[in-house]
Structure 1
């Protein structure tokens, strides 16, 4: 995966794995490849289990109540994902940076990629750009990639449903 300057691809992959967990190893491979992640070693159920455990930890970054706590939680994830950055052309598709050692199992690759991508996203776009959906009966996580940085819903559908709910509540209170 080529990390963009804001870590967007890695954060989108994390959200995809959380909101729609792959059901088996083949689905895990397909999902990672859909996000342009090159898979170097066979994927196993251990990778899926370790990835699910890591993503539960990653959600604590989203659920942090202030920026300092968010940074502390993310730094805790980063210290287990550290390797010196290295240039690589492992897939023959162009030189790019990796923040991990070569020949790592998928769970380790995802831990590093998502941790570093999240750090790039927050440092580049703002520490407030992760959250949980503000709509009633929805607590899906989201990452704000918007131009304005004002997102508070996981999807346009949740934003629209919540707007309709608020409108109906106002209309009912004026009767």
Structure 2
């Protein structure tokens, strides 16, 4: 997977793995491949467990109360995944940057990819561009990739349900 300038692809992969957690190591590998990540190492239960642990830490970044707290948490994840950037054409798909050491297990690749991608997303789009769904009956995380930067819901379905709820609430209060 090549990180786009805003980190959106890596953040979307993290969200997919959080919202629909893979149950097996082969499923984790398949989902990463489907997202465009080159998986050229064996993937086992250790990768699955380490990825789950990392995503729990990553959700703390999503849930951080303010930009300084979010930055501190993300800087910790970046420090744990740090390696000097390197130019590579490891898969023959074109030259691109990696922010990780070569030959890492998949969990290490995901830690680096998602940490750097999240940092690029927040630095490029705004520190407020991660959150939890604003619908009363949903707490899914989301990454705001909207043009305006005002996304409050994880999906159009949640936005529509919440709009209907608000409309019905107003209509009931008018009827009284």
Same fold by TM (over 0.5)? yes
Q: What is residue 153 of structure 1 aligned with on the other side?
A: 153
Q: What is residue 43 of structure 2 aligned with on the other side?
A: 43
For residues 69 and 25 of structure 1, what CA distance do their matches in structure 2 show?
32
Q: What is residue 88 of structure 1 aligned with on the other side?
A: 88
**How many residues are matched?**
175
Q: What is residue 134 of structure 2 aligned with on the other side?
A: 134
Q: What is residue 99 of structure 1 aligned with on the other side?
A: 99
Q: TM-score, normalised by structure 1?
A: 0.99
Q: TM-score, normalised by structure 2?
A: 0.98
Unaligned runs of 5+ in 1: none
Give the root-mean-square deviation of aligned CA atoms: 0.5
- Cα shift at 1:26: 1.8
1:24 aligns with 2:24: yes
For residues 114 and 17 of structure 1, what CA distance do their matches in structure 2 show?
11
- Cα shift at 1:21: 0.8
- Cα shift at 1:34: 1.0
CA contact 2:18–2:55 (8 Å) conserved in 1: yes
Q: What is residue 108 of structure 2 aligned with on the other side?
A: 108
Q: Deviations over 1:96-128 (max 9, x none)?
A: 000000000000000000000000000000000
CA contact 2:26–2:44 (8 Å) conserved in 1: no
For residues 79 and 115 of structure 2, what CA distance do their matches in structure 1 show?
9
For residues 147 and 60 of structure 1, what CA distance do their matches in structure 2 show?
25
1:54 aligns with 2:54: yes
2:37 match: secondary structure: coil
For residues 66 and 118 of structure 1, what CA distance do their matches in structure 2 show?
15
For residues 23 and 55 of structure 1, what CA distance do their matches in structure 2 show?
14
Q: Which stretches of structure 1, 4 residues or more, deviate above 2 A after TM superposition?
A: none
1:12 aligns with 2:12: yes
For residues 2 and 65 of structure 2, what CA distance do their matches in structure 1 show?
30
For residues 49 and 152 of structure 2, what CA distance do their matches in structure 1 show?
30
